[in-house]
């Protein structure tokens, strides 16, 4: 179990609280909740437990979990808590045939990753219909990542939030030095892949170009301890290190209301268009990389301006078609 005051411990406590309340069909009094959730059992005083429980209730409600408070028993001030299962359950996800096809194709990107089994299971559930077969993408293999040997283990480390060790050769120095890093982002910039993370020895955020990693990457199995800063911009950091500071060019995108969350987060402003679309105004650092990002959203993002960005997205999609031309049976 994680230390009681760490983010991991809080996540575990909230999850256990949620599962405990979901498993009960009747409202559960607070003292019984304290016995059901292990983290609450470790709290020394009633006052500390009350404070922790009140914070946890607010956190659950802030996350949209329908936590209900009801009077129970013969005493008016005795309350119980439950989660309304009907409100908690998600509605059925209905995808059109082409949307299921995209999900299945995306799952193939995990074919050699640690999530391969999970992705395959998810795909079987999504594709459980007569309209899409079990394997409609034979011969079509999406490609993820670069040619550097460090890419695969670093990808796994980012996905699992696991610290890594490797030897790194800085430009202008002789030889390579060992580094211990908590990985945050793997990002492509001007045809090269970079790792952005927390350097444990230097106690600072650092950027590492994968082509300069001279040794095998070792996953330490130690979980990361430094949270990713909310305001970190990996592209900006990489551009500064690479010596090619990106120019900020304005763009206007039409984005579906339930999509493009990372684009919305970087937006200068977002304007509603109708029930299905929003207009997102933002600045982008580079034409090619931004076009690739937009193309990854498929039909959920449409470029309104500038024209050169729209043309770059079209060129990117055509290039993908050319790569796989003749590979679909």
pLDDT digits (tens, 9 = 90+) for 23-82: 888 889 988 999 999 889 888 888 989 999 999 998 888 888 888 888 876 555 678 898
DSSP string computed for 26-62: S-EEHHHHHHHSHHHHT--SHHHHHHHHHHHHHHHHH
| CATH code of the domain in which 191 resides | 2.30.30
Token look-up 């999609």 returns: 317
Mean pLDDT, rounded, for 167-181: 86
Same-domain check for residues 160 and 238: yes
Token look-up 């796994």 returns: 156
Picking from 36, 33, 41, the residue whose alpha carbon sits closest to that of residue 57 is 33
Q: Is residue 113 part of a domain?
A: no
Same-domain check for residues 226 and 270: no
Beta strands across the sheet bearing 162-168:
204-209, 192-199, 177-189, 162-168, 218-223
Cα 15 to Cα 175: distance, rounded to the nearest angstrom: 47
Mean pLDDT, rounded, for 130-139: 48
Picking from 230, 278, 221, the residue whose alpha carbon sits closest to that of residue 254 is 278
Same-domain check for residues 42 and 90: yes
Q: Is residue 112 part of a domain?
A: no
What is the tally of structural domains in the chain?
Answer: 3
- Within the chain, what is the greatest distance between any pair of CA atoms? 78
pLDDT digits (tens, 9 = 90+) for 224-240: 888 888 778 888 888 87
Q: Is residue 51 part of a domain?
A: yes
Same-domain check for residues 158 and 233: yes
Same-domain check for residues 213 and 263: no
Which of 180, 215, 242 finishes a domain? 242
Mean pLDDT, rounded, for 309-329: 74
Cα 302 to Cα 278: distance, rounded to the nearest angstrom: 10
Same-domain check for residues 155 and 232: yes
Q: Is residue 176 part of a domain?
A: yes
Same-domain check for residues 258 and 237: no
Same-domain check for residues 199 and 261: no
pLDDT score of 329: 45
Task: Tell me the pLDDT band of 130, cut-offs 50, 70 and 90.
Answer: very low
Q: Is residue 259 part of a domain?
A: yes
Tell me if 43 sits within 8 A of 52, measured CB to CB: yes
| CATH code of the domain in which 11 resides | 1.10.10
Same-domain check for residues 228 and 296: no
Which of 242, 270, 296 finishes a domain? 242
pLDDT score of 208: 93
Domain range for 231:
150-242
Same-domain check for residues 157 and 234: yes
Joined together, the tokens standing for residue 173 give: 């120095």
pLDDT at 120 over 70: no
Mean pLDDT, rounded, for 176-195: 88
DSSP 211: G
Q: Is residue 109 part of a domain?
A: no
pTM over 0.95? The answer is no
pLDDT at 145 over 70: no
Same-domain check for residues 221 and 257: no
Same-domain check for residues 190 and 262: no
Which of 225, 242, 259 finishes a domain? 242
Residue bearing the bigger pLDDT, 131 or 151:
151
Q: Is residue 40 part of a domain?
A: yes
Mean pLDDT, rounded, for 90-96: 71
pLDDT score of 254: 94
Q: Is residue 122 part of a domain?
A: no
Residue bearing the bigger pLDDT, 268 or 124:
268
pLDDT digits (tens, 9 = 90+) for 273-305: 988 999 999 887 667 778 888 888 888 999 999
Joined together, the tokens standing for residue 66 give: 């329908």
Q: Which regions of the chain does DSSP assign to beta strands (E)?
A: 28-29, 67-71, 79-83, 162-168, 177-189, 192-199, 204-209, 218-223, 249-256, 269-272, 277-284, 301-305
């Amino acid at each position: 179990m994680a230390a009681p005051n760490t983010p991991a411990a809080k996540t575990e406590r909230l999850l256990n609280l949620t599962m405990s309340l979901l498993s009960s069909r009747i409202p559960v009094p607070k003292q019984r909740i304290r016995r059901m959730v292990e983290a609450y059992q470790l709290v020394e005083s009633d006052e500390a437990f009350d404070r922790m429980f009140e914070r946890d209730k607010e956190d659950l409600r802030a996350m949209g979990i329908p936590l209900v408070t009801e009077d129970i028993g013969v005493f008016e001030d005795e309350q119980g808590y439950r989660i309304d299962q009907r409100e908690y359950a998600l509605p059925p996800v209905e995808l059109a045939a082409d949307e299921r096809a995209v999900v299945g194709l995306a799952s193939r990107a995990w074919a050699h990753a640690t999530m391969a089994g999970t992705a395959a299971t998810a795909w079987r559930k999504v594709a459980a219909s007569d309209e899409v077969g079990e394997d409609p993408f034979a011969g079509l293999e999406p490609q993820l990542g670069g040619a550097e040997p460090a890419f695969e283990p670093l990808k796994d480390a980012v996905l699992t939030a696991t610290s890594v060790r490797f030897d790194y050769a800085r430009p202008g120095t002789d030889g390579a030095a060992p580094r211990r890093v908590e990985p945050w982002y793997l990002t492509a910039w001007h045809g090269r892949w970079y790792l952005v993370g927390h350097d444990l020895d230097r106690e600072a955020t650092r950027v590492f170009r994968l082509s300069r990693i001279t040794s095998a990457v070792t996953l330490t199995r130690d979980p990361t301890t430094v949270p990713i800063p909310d305001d970190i911009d990996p592209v900006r950091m990489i551009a500064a290190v690479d010596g090619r500071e990106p120019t900020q060019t304005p763009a206007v995108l039409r984005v579906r209301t339930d999509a493009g969350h990372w684009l919305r987060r970087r937006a200068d402003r977002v304007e509603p268009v109708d029930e299905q679309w929003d207009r997102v105004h933002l600045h982008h650092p580079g034409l090619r990389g931004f076009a690739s990002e937009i193309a990854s959203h498929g039909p959920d993002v449409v470029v309104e301006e500038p024209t050169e960005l729209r043309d770059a997205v079209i060129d990117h999609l055509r290039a993908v078609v050319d790569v796989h031309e003749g590979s679909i049976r």
